[in-house]
Amino acid sequence: MQTLKAIYVNLPTRDLNKTRVFWTNLGFSFNEQFSNEQALCLELKKEMIYAMLISHELFKTFTNKPISDNTTTQVLIAIEVDTKEKVDQLVSLAFENGATRYRDSADHGWMYYDSFADPDGHQWEVLFSDMAALG
């Protein structure tokens, strides 16, 4: 069976300074060893899960396809937190810092989630799940 050491999700970013402020205000930090004037390494779970937020100029060097704009969806990124309250707290912070809503929250009993689009239009779902309530 294959196991992974870490995962890096690469996302094109228009304004790295604005992006840094947005995620810092949500309580996240960056791995500065892999951050510079062309990219930020957002730590989602230290030593395991990262989002590489890359300037459009650099991102274009990794692909021969056009970078999608805010009118299309390429990926939905789901992150799980410990409680429903943390879902609401993180999504509220996102809205306070310039995120937009693209979908209403939903409560399925065993799973609760809410969603936001960051300043670059990347769609994030924040969820809490209680597997004991799944049944």
Q: What is the pLDDT of residues 47-91, one digit of tens each?
A: 999 999 999 999 999 999 999 887 888 889 999 999 999 999 999
Can you give the length of the chain in residues?
A: 135
Q: Pick the residue with more confidence: 89 or 134?
A: 89
Whole-angstrom distance, CA of residue 63 vs CA of residue 37 = 20
Task: Please give the pLDDT value at position 27.
Answer: 97
Domain spans of the chain? 1-67, 69-135
Residue 135's pLDDT band (cuts 50, 70, 90) = confident
CATH level 2 (architecture), domain 69-135: Roll (3.10)
Task: Please give the pLDDT value at position 12.
Answer: 95
Q: What is the mean pLDDT of the chain?
A: 94
pTM for this structure?
0.88
Cβ neighbours of 94 (radius 10 Å): 24
- 1-67, CATH topology level: 2,3-Dihydroxybiphenyl 1,2-Dioxygenase; domain 1 (3.10.180)
Q: Yes or no: say if 29 and 52 are a contact pair by the CB < 8 Å rule.
A: no
Could you give the count of Cα atoms lying within 13 Å of 12 in the half-sphere of its Cβ?
A: 19
